[in-house]
A and B are shown apart, each in its own frame.
Chain A
Amino acid sequence: MMDIALDAPTRTFVEASEIWVPEGDRLVHAGGNYGILDEFAAASARESFGHGEGLPGKAWAEARPVVLKEFDGSYFKRTEAAKAAGLTSAVAIPIFDGDTLKAVLVVLCANDSERTGAIEVWQASDDILRLDDGYYGAAKHFEWVSKHTHFPRGQGLPGAVWAANTPILMRDLGSGYRFIRSESAGKAGLTTGLGLPIPVPGDETYVLTLLSARGTPLARRFEIWDARSAKVGKSNEAVLIDGICAREGPLWSDEDERRATAWQGLIGKVIGSGLPIVESKVPGLAAGFDSVVALPIHQGGELSHVVAWYI
């Protein structure tokens, strides 16, 4: 029934996710999920990045999400280890609370002609969101279309996220979604999309979209938690406002509210600390999934939302 419901063992779009947090003047490793890529994991654990150094340092210094599709000859520091692990592309997403960097999330993908999905960074200019960059795996036509599509406020997933200033989950990318892109999305098998604002210091506006395909899902469970005091009061809690799961179906309810409290459970840890988490094979993972990435969004001087994706 669910478009992301194929629950058979399958190759996933993202190979590894990791978190870097500032410590002094450097970004240090603060956890990750590398699957079976043990050597890359070990190489990463030894690493740290200065301001502007490597991919996480660049996202920090430039205060923007950064997509890197070619490691060779680039500023990427772990090229050899990445190559050995078959990794070829990465996206770094800085998490800012006002002017303060809280963490950088890096997701790494393997260039595989069979894996489809999209991680896109949209940037606003002249009242229009244009594709800044994106990684699409095998979805080449969709990549081409996306480069030639722009979104005014309120239109499509990126435009709606921009206008509403809130993460949004869309189920129906293959139907009527800014027509040309929807047709191509449908052909690429992209069905479910999570869009979220990426607040950064200064005036720039960025929207990140994660589009998941049936065959090689980016995630099999998505959750959006609303933690704004305007929604939950000053209670240090968050309420699940939308979500979909390959195992449990829709996670929203217009009658029963699901709440998470600070420091209770994995989402609670994000609410309490304001920092992202990447966890795998730990107790408390929803619906028996193997791993989770949960990302806080800080807006207006408070934690506004937490988005989480599980696989």
Chain B
Amino acid sequence: MSTKRKLVVIGAGMASGRALEHLLDAEPDNWDITLFNAEPRGNYNRIMLSPVLSGEKTYQEIVTHDDDWYAQRGITCRFGEKVSAVDRDAKTVTGADGIPLPYDKLLVATGSAPFIIPLPGHDLDGVIAYRDLEDTNAMIDAAAKPDAKAVVIGGGLLGLEAAAGLKMRGMDVTVVHLMGHLMERQLDEAAGYLLRKALTDRGINVLCSANSKEIVGEDGRVKALLLDDGTELPCDLLVMAVGIRPNTQLAKEAGLAIGRGIHVDDQMVTSDPDVLAVGECVEHNGAIFGLVAPLYDQARIVAKTLTGEDAAFVQKEVSTKLKVTGCDLFSAGDFADGEGREDIVLRDPARGVYKRLVIENDRVIGAVMYGDTADSNWFFGLIKDGEDISEMRETLIFGPAYQGGDPLDPMAAVAALPDDAEICGCNGVSKGDIIAAIHDGANDLATVRAVTKASGSCGTCTGLVEQVLGVTLGDDFVIPAAQSVCGCTDLTHEEVRRLVKSQELKSQQAVWQELGWKTKDGCHVCRPAINYYLLADWPVEYQDDPQSRFINERKHANIQKDGTFSVVPRMFGGMTTPDELRAIADAADKYNVPTVHVTGGQRIDLLGVKGEDLPAIWADLNKAGLVSGHAYSKGLRTVKTCVGSSHCRFGTQDSTGLGVKIEKKLWGAWSPHKFKLAVSGCPRNCAEATCKDLGIVCVDSGYQIGVGGAAGMDVRETDLLVQVPSEQEAIDVTVAFYQLYRENAKYLDRPYKWIAKVGLDWVRERVVDDLENRQALIDRFALSQSVYQKDPWAEHVRERADSYAPVADLTLQAAE
């Protein structure tokens, strides 16, 4: 009779396979091993299924243990056979043949099962998980159909690998991800942005913040995925890759202690001393495992426990890599924001590189890298060892081989531009033209401007022209120091605006990365500006970020010095009605408004409203047809009017009518700074139109439109932009001027400051002379208004009323 000890292993996955290798290396002759596997095959390198899916590897290449391997070691393989029962008292395992098989030691390695979201339609044909070779082959088969479409739910590691593989196979692929950025457990937003960009570049459609609602079928087969916003994504294959759950059913039936997984101690022993467990099915100290490194550690420990050696499994930091050819990323440790944590960020937009280290108490506790992972192992070592990095903090981000580093050089980018690259878009001046002028003796900005006209119009290319001068003349030209937006970047506002447009940057993450921001996600200075530039240039694509706004704009009310707020309903053109006045009076009574004030902008200000009352007072005012006056916004404020020809003996035109029309067109729009208008019915100018950002003075022959007035810290009379004969033209010029200002001015520059920089002629050319351009500005404004002309009061009452509630209701507490 054999003296060998009987080991039964349930599950031939990577963890048990590695455990068997260690065990048989240590004790080749001591064990009589039977290996059950529900899959009809032995151990293969499951994490390499993605390259098999893409065609970059074959299944044969990823087989870890072939038939010979098992045969040479005398392992009895029972593949394709499920274990039906474990009898721990009798110490037997029963397979498909119903005959109990005795064991001395049992190793449970049942792995995990993919989590299937119980959406309606999840059981349709063509809906699969991504777990094993069968799933992989199902995907390969699906891709063989001409013009086949796939939807992958889940933008984590597995989902993205599946998407990339299916794309390489020729499928049209959409990834649907619930969270705001891809691989949110492993990557921060910045790295998620770069990953999304790389995947989009390879033709994969990526939808983030997308919630699946229903899987639509036809004749029992998947036909489309329906999202909760109504989007329907047609598909022939739907892959769910949203996570895994430990397979604990058998262990549970056998009466072993389980939680989320099978409970094991540091020796990988379950609640039964003769039953061990390893791999994705286990739970150790509250943790479950999905990456391979800890599984291999467990395998080593379980083998030692079986051979009677002392060993203990210790959970270690794990790192992540994605197996999509061409996407180099790395993440390890903890990179959430937190008190006392600091970031070190390095970005190289040209190479698509982002590196971020999270430092706490002079130790690296987290690292995220995209595009350059050469030093990832070194950083991973620092995290695991908890090494004190205070001595090398300054150069840490450059890695171990830092030799002075390569600071980012904006000049290199200009030097690399071809001669026909356009530098000055306004005047069509190329880099070659400027170099030719420099060679002819122009050696400073003013001369280049005089000779070529480059930077002579809107001026946004001034920095570029200076850089061409610098590149061409070398040390003979010193670029004047420009005022950067803030400490997060060396770029000026003008440069940022130009690059947001030219590089089509449509998200904050895109700006941070592509423009090489030095901080993770900007600061209180740059964020409001960037938020504005993005929403002004990409009204449809960009989603306004309330967190990047000042409190008044966030709360849609002006905060007062006692912490209360003011509420100013809009009165279009300064006109109101008895009903509106009654509603305002009622609201003032109902909410105990202490102060009611008539503003200089011809409307009524309710001062002293408590924050928590805001949604209710807004709702009441809304009911009377009143909307927000945006008295707090960097946007259109009021259009002040006089009564004009309807009532006044001197009125030449219907100034109130025009004021109402303009305000109805412009309200709700955001701009670089507040924007005030007025329309006076005659040159007596009762509406004080000549000190507004844009003021119209009606005359007998038409409408004089002046711009760039001010009546604040600076007092300034408007300059005449144009006189037009018709009301419609006055409206058109007003809208076009506002849009030109919105598209070009530096954040927090009022129009008069902006005009001083670009010149009134430049404005006039675009708004007055070039009718095609005027219409284009009007069209772009209309597009923006289709998104932004909505009453924030109604929206907040509907969607965000809760955020105005006080933290605790102290009045109620006191009463009780």
Contacts and interface: CB of A to CB of B under 8 A. Distances in A.
Interface of A: 1-3, 152-157, 159-160, 163-166, 168-173, 175-180, 182, 228-235, 242, 244, 249-250, 252, 254, 300
B170 interface: yes
A163 B201 contact: yes
Nearest to A152: B203
A214 to B, nearest CB: 14
Contact of A230 (B144, B201, B203, B372): B372
A124 to B, nearest CB: 13
B17 to A, nearest CB: 13
A155 B374 contact: no
B373 A230 contact: yes
B174 to A, nearest CB: 13
Given A171-B55, A171-B58, A176 B169 contact: yes
Interface string B344-380: 0000000101000000000000000001111100000
A284 to B, nearest CB: 25
Given A179-B145, A254-B45, 4 more contacts: A157-B168, A163-B202, A164-B326, A230-B351
17 contacts: A154-B164, A154-B167, A154-B202, A157-B55, A160-B168, A163-B203, A171-B55, A172-B55, A176-B140, A177-B55, A179-B170, A230-B328, A231-B374, A232-B374, A233-B400, A235-B401, A250-B61
B143 interface: yes
A193 to B, nearest CB: 9
A176 B55 contact: yes
A178 B57 CA distance: 17
Contacts, number: 112
Given A166-B326, A176-B55, A233 B167 contact: no
From DSSP, what is the main secondary structure of chain B's interface residues? loop
Contact of B61 (A152, A166, A232, A249): A249
A250 B66 CA distance: 15
A179 B47 contact: no
Contacts of A165: 326
A171 B353 CA distance: 30
Nearest to B146: A179
B325 interface: yes
Given A176-B140, A254-B47, A254-B48, A168 B56 contact: yes
B374 A160 contact: no
Interface in B13-33: none
Nearest to A171: B58
Number of chain B interface residues as a range = 35 or more
A169 B327 CA distance: 16
Interface string B32-63: 00000000000001011000101111101100
A277 to B, nearest CB: 25
Interface of B: 45, 47-48, 52, 54-58, 60-61, 140-141, 143-146, 164, 167-170, 201-204, 325-328, 351, 353, 371-375, 399-401, 403
Contacts of A254: 45, 47-48
A164 B164 CA distance: 11
Contacts of B57: 171, 250, 252
B168 A229 contact: no
Among A155, A157, A250, the one with the most B-chain Cβ atoms within 10 Å of its Cβ is A155
Contact of A178 (B54, B58, B170, B403): B170
Contacts of A244: 61
B56 A242 contact: yes
A233 B374 contact: yes
A153 B56 contact: no
A154 B150 CA distance: 14
A286 to B, nearest CB: 18
Contacts of A169: 56
A160 B202 contact: yes
A180 B170 CA distance: 10
A23 B89 CA distance: 83
Nearest to A98: B416
A231 B326 CA distance: 11
A179 B147 CA distance: 9
A153 B201 contact: yes
Contacts of A178: 169-170
B58 A172 contact: yes
Contacts of A232: 374
A155 B169 CA distance: 6
Contacts of A175: 55, 140, 144
Contacts of A180: 146
